Amino acid sequence: MRFDSFEFIVFLALTLVLAAVSTGRRRHAMLLVASYFFYASWSPPFIILLWFSTLLDFFCGGQIAKSRSQAPRLGYLLLSLIGNLGVLVYFKYGNFFLDNVAFVSGLDPSPFYLDVIIPLGISFYTFQSMSYTIDLYRREAEPCRSLLDFALYVTFFPQLIAGPVLRVSEFIPQLRRTEPVREAEVLQAVELFLLGLFKKTVIADNIGILVDQVFAAPASYNAGAIYLAAVGFFIQIYCDFSGYSTMARGLALLFGFKLPNNFDYPLLRWNPALFRRSWHITMGNWFQNYVYRPLSRSGNSNQSNAGTAKKPWVRESDGRLVFNVVFTWGLLGLWHGASWNFVLWGLSNGIQLALYLFVLRRKSWSLPDFHGKKFLGWLINFNLWVPGSILFRAQNLPDAWVMLTRLATIADGRSVAPGWYVGIAVLGGIHLLSYHYYKEDLMLRLGWAQRSLLVSGVVAAIAAFAATGRPFIYFQF
């Protein structure tokens, strides 16, 4: 049941009606049941994994909060980590591990292959649930006394499958709200949902036609087509994933919940650090809080606004800086999928960021300000994304190598229609204008007649130009 399906519209309408006629704990219980139903529409048996993560972390979190000595606190934290990561590794990385063992040893892995499929959203809800026990262990969160509330935190359907990834302190306090959803929230919710739906179905899915065409037969295309397909995939995955996140924010707002923004115009950022802080923000924060900061020994995350704790790389040695950044990004690449493509993508991002931070803290000079300075930085940054985009999207490492070498040697071959170049350039211009002038409040500033025209126009555009049938890219992770 995808957000862009008729079945979901029926489900959403019914859930909204039930939410409007229920209050308090009954409303929370109804939303939890609806969230389980939403997840079960993909594969009912995998609800057991949701229950497992929920019950495990609720129990471990409660025990951590009650324990006064360090040993049991650490023991329950380890139980949570081993349980959650064990399930994740089994379903997502088991066969990848067997393949690599077989490659090194020469053994045939086929008798040992696990006959499993990756449960939808497991990488997202596992990390979200696990963050609760880590925060309690660090004494950065209050224990959740209600299993119902905690289950809803883990399972809330708008962000269950692909985020944003929440921390318990961002969601549980909102359950105490008693006032009804305001008109302004409904208007903004409609705007966000339609914006996300347009980005996904009209922009991402149509650009996916070009991307699929070139990446399916990379050896036959020239360097220009490969470059455009790599840029196109970056636009596709941005509009696909940010489209989902924007729709999730809109859906949550219909029920009175505010979710964090997951993207902040990353395609317009002019240095590696800004780009990585504005792309998939909640997952980046997760890895910063729970992987990078422990490695850098920079203290707990609730000190992140004080002094140099916000920039722990300032105090690290050169070797520790490079290792910590590259290691964290290598794990982030592996989080995306059980493939060396993703690992190399993560490592390449980590190397770029580590080199940038290394130079940034050691340089005693900076370029003088001049018109176009940020544009120059963006242009350099933009072209650094292209190899990573190829690594991320290529079907395998040999295909990625073919594309990178053909790009580097400016190889001849088939070209793509010139209209694709024009279309992507126009999209870039529209994106730049929205960065300067759009604040996600258009529905609030218009009258009812104008709102009706706007909604009707967007719905008509989606109906006319949507390329339907494509799942969200991040559903595979």
Residues 353-407: tens digit of each pLDDT: 999 988 888 776 677 777 788 888 899 988 888 999 999 999 899 999 999 999 9
Distance of alpha carbon 170 from alpha carbon 163, whole angstroms = 13
- Tokens 């350099």 belong to which residue? 380
Domain boundary among 150, 180, 210: 180
- The reply to whether 162 and 266 lie within a common domain is no
- The reply to whether 81 and 63 lie within a common domain is yes
- The reply to whether 158 and 240 lie within a common domain is no
Per-residue pLDDT, 370: 75
- The reply to whether 274 and 326 lie within a common domain is yes
Q: Is 336 a catalytic residue?
A: yes
Distance of alpha carbon 150 from alpha carbon 56, whole angstroms = 11
**In this model, does residue 299 exceed pLDDT 80?**
no
Per-residue pLDDT, 298: 52
CA–CA distances in Å: residue 4 to residues 118, 192, 376, 403: 22, 14, 38, 33
- The reply to whether 167 and 290 lie within a common domain is no
Residue 132 structural domain: 6-180
- The reply to whether 229 and 124 lie within a common domain is no
Q: What is the pLDDT of residues 133-165, one digit of tens each?
A: 999 999 999 999 999 999 999 999 999 998 899
Answer whether residue 263 is part of any domain. Answer: yes
Query: Could you tell me the pLDDT band of residue 312, with boundaries at 50, 70 and 90?
Result: low
Question: Taking phi first (over 0 means left), then psi (-120 to 50 degrees means alpha), and beta for anything else, what does residue 166 get?
Answer: beta
- The reply to whether 414 and 402 lie within a common domain is yes
Three-state SS at 141:
coil
- The reply to whether 230 and 255 lie within a common domain is yes
Of the residues 28, 280, 336, 371, only one is catalytic, namely 336
Distance of alpha carbon 162 from alpha carbon 359, whole angstroms = 34
- The reply to whether 314 and 244 lie within a common domain is yes
DSSP 290: I
Structure tokens at 130: 């696990």
Distance of alpha carbon 203 from alpha carbon 466, whole angstroms = 8
Answer whether residue 66 is part of any domain. Answer: yes
Answer whether residue 344 is part of any domain. Answer: yes
- Tokens 């509009």 belong to which residue? 239
Domain boundary among 165, 180, 195: 180
- The reply to whether 156 and 222 lie within a common domain is no
Residue type, 286: W
Distance of alpha carbon 391 from alpha carbon 343, whole angstroms = 9
- Please indicate, yes or no, whether the overall pTM of this predicted structure exceeds 0.85: yes
Three-state SS at 253:
helix
DSSP 397: H
Answer whether residue 454 is part of any domain. Answer: yes
Mean per-residue pLDDT of the chain: 90
Answer whether residue 37 is part of any domain. Answer: yes
CA–CA distances in Å: residue 44 to residues 28, 47, 194: 21, 6, 29
Domain boundary among 145, 180, 215: 180
The domain tally of the chain equals 2
- The reply to whether 101 and 160 lie within a common domain is yes
Q: What is the pLDDT of residues 17-32, one digit of tens each?
A: 999 999 899 999 999 9
| pLDDT average, residue stretch 60-80 | 95
Answer whether residue 1 is part of any domain. Answer: no
Answer whether residue 401 is part of any domain. Answer: yes
DSSP 409-464: TT---B---HHHHHHHHHHHHHHHHHHHH--S-HHHHS-HHHHHHHHHHHHHHHHH
Residue type, 440: E
Structure tokens at 93: 């990385």
Give Dmax (Cα) for the chain: 70
| pLDDT average, residue stretch 348-352 | 93
- The reply to whether 145 and 258 lie within a common domain is no
- Percentage of the chain exceeding pLDDT 70: 95
Locate all alpha helices (DSSP H) within 89-221, ordered by sequence.
Answer: 94-105, 122-137, 147-155, 157-160, 168-171, 183-198, 205-216
Question: Taking phi first (over 0 means left), then psi (-120 to 50 degrees means alpha), and beta for anything else, what does residue 469 get?
Answer: left
Per-residue pLDDT, 460: 96
Is residue 45 within 8 Å of 114, Cβ to Cβ?
no
Distance of alpha carbon 263 from alpha carbon 277, whole angstroms = 9
Residue type, 340: W
Closest of 228, 269, 237 to residue 422, by C-alpha = 228
Answer whether residue 281 is part of any domain. Answer: yes
Q: What is the pLDDT of residues 244-284, one digit of tens each?
A: 999 999 999 999 999 999 999 999 999 899 998 999 999 99
Query: Could you tell me the pLDDT band of residue 172, with boundaries at 50, 70 and 90?
Result: very high
Q: What is the pLDDT of residues 92-115, one digit of tens each?
A: 998 888 888 887 887 777 777 888
